[in-house]
Amino acid sequence: MSKSLGRRAATTAAVITLGGLGVVAAQAPASASTFTASYTCNSPLGNQTITVNGTATASPNPTTVGSSTHFTAHIATSLSSPLAINSWSATLTANVSGAQTASFQATGSGGSIPANQPVAADVAGNWTPTAAGTDQISGGNVSINANVVLVGNITATCTPNSPIPVAETLTVN
């Protein structure tokens, strides 16, 4: 791989990591909670620390024990990909603490994104609380798989740095 292509691939890997997480902030729904988190993203081509801004919504909120709750998150950064992305998919492990301790998966995917264009992402998943009380939902590890022009398939993982902010608070009756 040429030095220039190697640099572009390394930059793209970091951006793909973020591309799966998102790049453009969308206006949050009125009930969405906002958060900012620091992540360290690792790919075969290097590591990068990033700041992520996002909105999260649990619905219904409040909910009841034994009822499925739908969780959505829109995540954004200021980065864009220097190379076109053919497609991507992301899996976020959402962590629950408070009235109970649990985790669940939120996933999302997207199609073609031109080079140097911002990338927006939304992930969604469901969780069924089993105990009454207040639960805090925080972002956990993220895995991104992307098909990048000139590079091919890249997998990157991102781990939240401490402190890990609460993305959404859920009341369970």
Name the DSSP class of 170: E
Question: Quick check: 108 and 123 in contact, CB under 8 A?
Answer: yes
Q: CA–CA separation, 100 vs 129, rounded Å?
A: 8
Q: Show the tokens assigned to 74.
A: 């829109």
Q: What is the mean pLDDT of each run of 10 residues along the chain (173 residues)?
A: 38 41 38 90 82 93 97 79 88 96 97 81 96 97 91 91 96 97
E strand or H helix at 7: helix 3-21
Q: Show the tokens assigned to 81.
A: 């990909």
Question: Quick check: 21 and 121 in contact, CB under 8 A?
Answer: yes
The count of other CB atoms within 10 Å of the CB of residue 50 is: 19
Tens-place pLDDT, residues 118-142: 667 899 999 999 999 999 999 999 9
Reported pTM: 0.79
pLDDT at 3: 39
